[in-house]
């Protein structure tokens, strides 16, 4: 054997600091994004609020290229124009008064809501979905799973009871959900799950994974120097790995706290009908209006020594933030335009016209990773003629019918309509509801009807009898 040189052609995804920041900005809610940018402006002299008056958009702006939307270096984000609702310009069930949509509070979304939503959209068997639901129920508000798998297996009440290995397989699938790091049993595993989603050539990745797996508890006491001696590694290598660990989220579920009762949310996108077509654009204030301070930018090119280094670093951070904001706006629009094309019936007629739609379908159409679509949708809201809705309301799992598939939300809407129209002295049983649905082209089992009825808070037929 002798050493040789070989040339190989391949592709690698490098998660640069800019890309990491773009992913971070994408998953933030509107309120969190405003707070993040405010901190950046206060700490970076190269950033300043852009107070340039926004120009009114023309109708064609809704179909403008993505590069024209969002913030750019030295410029502001897309204009803050929103369409005015016209009386009679919405579909049945919509609101003609523009004030109504602004006053509707969106339902709060907890971590468990977010995980269950992803679980129901995942291609799993009914048994695995039941195990997944038990796992989600056992995850605490910080995103950790601290209960033994044997207790979770017993909580499923499946027959036969799943073994711990079967539960572990579903847990492994759940640990790939958004937010990254969810479902871990301790901090070390939480950090390792987040590291596992990074590209293999991320600087410090291998060492950070090793530290998270074995030396994490010793880090606060030993420090970087002590850990470098203990691991027999260069101090700079350990410092890079520790910096990577500190960039991760030790409480991945905390961002998904429920909104207080009565809280109103600002929409991230606006959806409206323009003639025969539905249009989408960013809502007013969806992207904070920030720009690079041109005076300090000029100083960065003239300064020398330590001042030049400091200003250049801040200028780079400012550019990364602006590009991250632009990427957030572009991604949100790409995803939402795809969703609106798929759910035009839902926008026109309401829940009964919601078609099955999954994260995977949207990801394939817009050429993004499924986790990116999940981050884009999480805790974002759309102002529509039906009110301000969470973006996850546009997604639903499917139920097989004779003519294809119907969404679970659409089936629930049909059940609600049948119950509302029933004779109060002879309410419809679950079996009769199933027969009515089958007659309408949606063959579902009685137990499925019972599950949906219970999830909607509708009492059994024996308890819905009213004599007057």
Q: Could you give the 3-state DSSP secondary structure of residue 130?
A: helix
- In this structure, are strands 269-274 and 381-384 parallel, antiparallel, or unpaired? parallel
Residue 197 and residue 370 in contact, taking contact as beta carbons nearer than 8 Å? no
Residue 170 and residue 131 in contact, taking contact as beta carbons nearer than 8 Å? yes
Read off the DSSP letter of residue 185: S
- Dihedral angle sign, alpha carbons of residues 405, 409, 412, 416: negative
Per-residue pLDDT tens, the chain, 468 aa: give them: 555 555 555 444 445 666 778 888 888 888 888 888 999 999 988 888 887 765 544 333 333 333 322 333 333 333 343 443 333 333 333 333 333 333 344 445 678 888 888 888 888 888 998 999 999 988 988 899 988 999 899 888 888 999 999 999 999 999 988 888 999 999 999 999 999 888 788 888 989 998 888 778 888 888 888 888 888 889 999 899 988 888 888 888 887 765 555 556 788 999 998 888 899 999 888 888 899 888 877 887 777 777 788 888 888 889 999 999 999 999 999 999 999 999 888 888 877 778 888 888 899 999 988 888 888 988 889 998 888 888 888 887 766 555 556 666 777 777 888 888 888 888 888 888 888 887 777 777 787 788 778 877 888 888 787 754
Residue 332 and residue 287 in contact, taking contact as beta carbons nearer than 8 Å? no
Query: What's the token pair of residue 77?
Result: 């984000």
Residue 50 and residue 355 in contact, taking contact as beta carbons nearer than 8 Å? no
d(CA 214, CA 210): 6
Q: Could you give the 3-state DSSP secondary structure of residue 445?
A: coil
CATH number at residue 449: 1.10.10
Residue 442 and residue 406 in contact, taking contact as beta carbons nearer than 8 Å? yes
Which pLDDT score is estimated for 173? 92
Which pLDDT score is estimated for 19? 72
From 288, 331, 187, 325, select the one nearest 246 (Cα to Cα).
187
Residue 456 lies in a domain: yes
Residue 373 lies in a domain: no
d(CA 410, CA 399): 10
Residue 33 lies in a domain: no
Residue 422 lies in a domain: yes
Which pLDDT score is estimated for 106? 44
From 276, 274, 357, select the one nearest 83 (Cα to Cα).
274
452 lies in which domain range? Answer: 397-463
Cis-peptide into 179, omega within 30 deg: yes
d(CA 122, CA 141): 22
Which pLDDT score is estimated for 57? 40
For the chain, what's the residue count?
468
Counting beta carbons within 10 angstroms of the beta carbon of residue 70, is it exposed (0 to 12), middle (13 to 18) or buried (19 or more)?
buried
Counting beta carbons within 10 angstroms of the beta carbon of residue 423, is it exposed (0 to 12), middle (13 to 18) or buried (19 or more)?
exposed
Give, in order, the Cα–Cα distances in Å from 116 to each of 15, 111, 396. 29, 9, 12
Residue 281 belongs to what H/E stretch?
A: strand 277-282
Query: What's the token pair of residue 118?
Result: 């992803």
Residue 367 lies in a domain: no
- Domains identified in the chain, total number: 1
Residue 27 lies in a domain: no
Residue 371 lies in a domain: no
d(CA 468, CA 458): 19
Residue 338 lies in a domain: no
Which pLDDT score is estimated for 6? 56
Which bin fits 143, alpha (ψ -120 to 50), beta or left (φ > 0)? left
């Amino acid at each position: 054997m002798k050493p040789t040189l070989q040339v190989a052609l391949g592709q690698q995804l490098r998660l640069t600091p800019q890309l990491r920041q773009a992913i971070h900005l994408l998953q933030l809610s509107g309120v969190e994004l405003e707070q993040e940018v405010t901190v950046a402006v206060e700490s970076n002299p190269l950033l300043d609020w852009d107070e340039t008056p926004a120009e009114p958009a023309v109708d064609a702006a809704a179909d403008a290229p993505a590069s024209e939307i969002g913030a750019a270096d030295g410029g502001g984000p897309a204009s803050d124009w929103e369409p005015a609702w016209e009386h009679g310009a919405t579909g049945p069930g919509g609101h003609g008064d523009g004030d109504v949509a602004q006053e509707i509070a969106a339902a709060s979304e907890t971590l468990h809501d977010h995980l269950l939503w992803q679980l129901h959209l995942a291609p799993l068997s009914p048994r695995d979905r039941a195990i997944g639901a038990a796992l989600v129920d056992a995850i605490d508000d910080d995103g950790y799973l601290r209960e033994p798998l044997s207790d979770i297996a017993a909580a499923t009440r499946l027959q036969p009871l799943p073994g711990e290995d079967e539960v572990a397989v579903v847990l492994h699938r759940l640990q790939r959900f958004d937010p990254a790091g969810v479902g871990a049993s301790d901090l070390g595993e939480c950090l390792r799950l987040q590291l596992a989603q990074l590209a293999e050539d991320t600087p410090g990745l291998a060492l950070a994974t090793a530290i998270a797996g074995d030396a994490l508890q010793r880090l606060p006491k030993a420090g970087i120097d002590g850990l470098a001696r203990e691991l027999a590694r260069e101090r700079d290598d350990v410092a890079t790995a520790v910096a990577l660990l500190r960039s991760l989220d030790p409480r991945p579920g905390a961002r998904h706290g429920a909104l207080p009762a009565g809280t109103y949310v600002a929409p991230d996108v606006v959806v409206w009908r323009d003639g025969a077509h539905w249009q989408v654009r960013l809502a007013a204030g969806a992207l904070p209006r920030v720009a690079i301070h041109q005076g300090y930018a000029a100083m960065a090119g003239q300064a020398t020594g330590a001042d030049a280094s400091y200003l250049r670093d801040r200028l780079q951070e400012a550019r990364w933030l602006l590009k991250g904001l632009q990427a957030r706006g572009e991604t949100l629009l790409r995803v939402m335009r795809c969703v609106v094309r798929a759910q035009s019936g839902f926008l026109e007629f309401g829940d009964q016209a919601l078609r099955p739609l999954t994260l995977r379908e949207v990801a394939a159409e817009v050429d993004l990773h499924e986790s990116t679509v999940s981050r884009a949708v999480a805790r974002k809201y759309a102002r529509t003629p039906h009110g301000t809705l969470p973006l996850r309301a546009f997604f639903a799992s499917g139920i097989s019918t004779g003519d294809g598939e119907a969404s679970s939300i659409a089936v629930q809407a049909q059940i609600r309509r049948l119950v509302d129209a029933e004779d109060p002295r002879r309410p419809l049983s679950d079996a009769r509801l199933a027969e009515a649905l089958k007659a309408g082209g949606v063959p579902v089992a009685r137990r499925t009807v019972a599950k949906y009825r219970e999830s909607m808070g509708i009492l059994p037929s024996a308890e819905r009898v009213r004599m007057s």
